[in-house]
Amino acid sequence: MNFDIELVGKVGSMALVNAQHDDIDYNIIARISRYLKPGYIWVTSGATEIGRLDYLKRTGTELSGDENTVKADYSAQGQSILMQNYRQFVDSRYSLRQFLVEHQHFNDKDKCRYLKQALLRCPLQGAIPIINYNDAVSDEENRKLEIQALRKAKDKVVECIDNDETASQIACLVKPKYLLLLTGVDGILTDINNKNSLVTEIVGATVSELLQNIEYYQNFCDGASRKGANGARAKLEYIKEPIKQGTTAIIANSKYKIGDILSGAAPRTIIKLK
């Protein structure tokens, strides 16, 4: 099977933050960045939380007011810090390109095609795309109205509720060999309180069988790492479309090296056709 891109990867907000010290986890960003290369597309959360921590350090207080406005302000502050850290640790031979996307980029055919072309140019030019949702200018109320209007006109609508969905949509766009979702646990657990309950693989002889097996393991998924996140159940839901086109999905802990995750040397849940 032919693939356009080697890997689309995503890391969540809390995986990039050292909660004990209320700071960026530079070790994790460095570990991720040093493995990135042309042919990889990286979807990163973290701008909002990193912006919050930066604002707190500089002022000694947190912002107050409307939740969506505060989120936008933190995101605007955190984006530059996030990109600065990726640039610091990514191999200096490679270019970095930031793409800030919104739901409209996946619901409009022309914008979708333009984004795909821009992403596929990157490996040819020695560049690595770093993608995040554009929270800094995304008004929640407007987004809901836009989504509602789209649902009246078409059956399938992309919301980009979080960056797991964003990564999945990018994978549908560019057809990667791997879709890697990094999180704070080792993969899919049948008991969230028991790290030994890791499901190491979910496989199927056909797409239909694989989707059925994914749905079976969704029954064990509950809870999320933070407010606004959708947890492991949603991750398994979002990977279904990329799976249909032959992409292998992997869910793993951000504390491990990407190379070890891909090779199977680190714990993971791998989801693929037999």
Q: Which tens digit of pLDDT belongs to each residue from 125-145?
A: 999 999 998 887 776 656 566
pTM beyond 0.85: the answer is: yes
- Tell whether the model's pLDDT for residue 43 goes beyond 50: yes
**What pLDDT was estimated at residue 192?**
87
**What pLDDT was estimated at residue 229?**
45
**What pLDDT was estimated at residue 103?**
82
**What pLDDT was estimated at residue 225?**
43
Q: What is the per-residue pLDDT across 146-194, written as a single tens digit (0 to 9) for each?
A: 567 667 677 777 666 789 999 999 999 999 999 999 998 999 999 988 9
The three-state secondary structure class of 206 is coil
Q: Across residues 32-49, what is the average pLDDT?
A: 96
Report the candidate in 225, 212, 62 with the shortest Cα–Cα distance to residue 251. Answer: 225
Number of domains present in the structure of the chain:
1
Query: What is the extent of the structural domain holding 181?
Result: 5-273
Strand bridging mode 201-204 / 269-273:
parallel
- Tell whether the model's pLDDT for residue 78 goes beyond 70: yes
Q: For residue 230, what is the domain's CATH number?
A: 3.40.1160.10
Residues in the chain: 274
Highest mean pLDDT among 24-28, 162-166, 264-268: 264-268
Report the candidate in 263, 214, 268 with the shortest Cα–Cα distance to residue 237. Answer: 214
**What pLDDT was estimated at residue 96?**
97
